[in-house]
Structure 1
Amino acid sequence: MADEAKEEIKNEKVAEETDDNVATDVIEKADEPEQNEVDPQQVKLDEALEKISNLEDQLLRAQAEIQNIQQRHAREVQNVRKYDGQKLASAVLPAVDNLERALLVETDDAVAQQIKTGVEMTLKTLSQALTDNGISATGEVGEVFDPTKHQAIQSVDSDEVESDQIATVLQKGYILQDRVLRPAMVAVAK
């Protein structure tokens, strides 16, 4: 019986040591997160970092878009200023043409001569106003024909000018800065 008691005590000690080891392992494992276990704070941190990254990207894109809008607006304002008088100039050009035609009439009468002088002054004032606003006439006899600035109405034989040059101007053309307001109607030498 003594042997049985000794063996029983021995078994109890082994069981206690096993229980102590298991308890120590459980405590140590509780202190260390398992590899499969996800830390909720780390998940929140990762989500916050991703959200910050997305917001930074959106901010950069928004800033670039604002810069593009500002540049586009500046170009539009520049074009509006550059071509500001286009509509008015187009409306005034027929009056200039009529004044030029009126000056072609020959008169001997003193009253008609005074009227002609008044028409000349008016035409000079209008022409100066057009020039001051960046509008210039195009289409002169002897000028090389340019289809971007001139409209060929006919081609004629001419001894006065070379081939592909303007032989006759039927109606002056006008250019605002670099934009054609009205092409010159011309006859081109063959």
Structure 2
Amino acid sequence: MTKRDPEATEFPSEKDLKKTANSAQANLKASQPETKQKAAAQTAQSADNDNEAVIDKLLDKNQELEKKLRASQDQYLRAEAEIQNIKRHNQMEQADLIKYDGQKLATAILPSLDNLQRALQAQSSNKAQEESILTGVKMVLKHLQQALKENQVEEIPAAGQKFDPTLHQAVQTVPADDQHPAETVVEVLQTGYKLKDRVLRPSMVVVAQ
């Protein structure tokens, strides 16, 4: 076999090797920015996801706190309203105690007034004795009535008045006539009294029907 020397074209020249190396380096450099961009995009996406998760948690926490705040405000308003109601109730009770301070005393002496009035209506065969009794009873009755008046306890007008169920208690009825129209008081059987605007006891009356 004849030995053949290799031709020049079978081996790359130094120039070709440099060109190939430069091309590889250029390709490598061109690919690096794309890889970095992808990595940066992935990092940014991951950061966005993390931020969204944090924001969602913060929004949920904020809604929870708002609910608790509204519940606390509602409880506060209810408690405040209850306190105000208690204050008003106590003030009304105290005002009533002051306003009707003489009620117990007035109620206690009303039976004495009734007895005195009955004594005045009683008759005696002894005129002198009767005059003396009447005079004494009248004085006592006058003093009692004056004491009641000073404490703003007054008789409830009844005779000839239009029947008022808030002031009068009808214990008997009689037919109405010209002098006593229907629903008017014909006779007072027991005097009623009131302390200011509070009825201590109603007048017991006979009413025309």
Instruction: Indicate whether the TM-score tops 0.5.
Output: yes
Larger Rg: 2
Rounded to whole Å, the distance in 2 between the matches of 1:138 and 1:45 is 68
Rounded to whole Å, the distance in 2 between the matches of 1:125 and 1:183 is 22
- State the 4+ residue runs in structure 1 displaced beyond 6 angstroms: none
List runs of 5+ in structure 1 lacking aligned partners: none
Rounded to whole Å, the distance in 2 between the matches of 1:50 and 1:156 is 71
Inter-CA distance 160–99: structure 2 relative to 1 (3 Å threshold): farther
Residue 145 of structure 1 corresponds to: 163
Query: Structure 1 length normalisation: TM-score?
Result: 0.73
Identity, % of aligned pairs? 41
Q: Does 1:69 align with 2:86?
A: yes
Contact 1:173 1:181 in 2 (8 A): yes
Residue 112 of structure 2 corresponds to: 95
Cα offsets for 1:113-134 (capped at 9, x unmatched):
5454333222222212222222
Alignment root-mean-square deviation, CA: 3.5
Rounded to whole Å, the distance in 2 between the matches of 1:159 and 1:63 is 60
Q: Does 1:120 align with 2:173?
A: no
What is the deviation of 1:177? 2.3
List runs of 5+ in structure 2 lacking aligned partners: 1-11
Cα offsets for 1:7-66 (capped at 9, x unmatched):
543442244223322343355456656563224666656655554454444434433332
2:28 alignment partner AA = E
Contact 2:160 2:185 in 1 (8 A): yes
2:181 alignment partner AA = S
2:147 alignment partner AA = A
What is the deviation of 1:182? 1.7
Inter-CA distance 110–57: structure 2 relative to 1 (3 Å threshold): same
Rounded to whole Å, the distance in 2 between the matches of 1:42 and 1:160 is 86
Counterpart pick for 1:38 among 42, 54, 58: 54
Count of residue pairs the alignment pairs up: 190
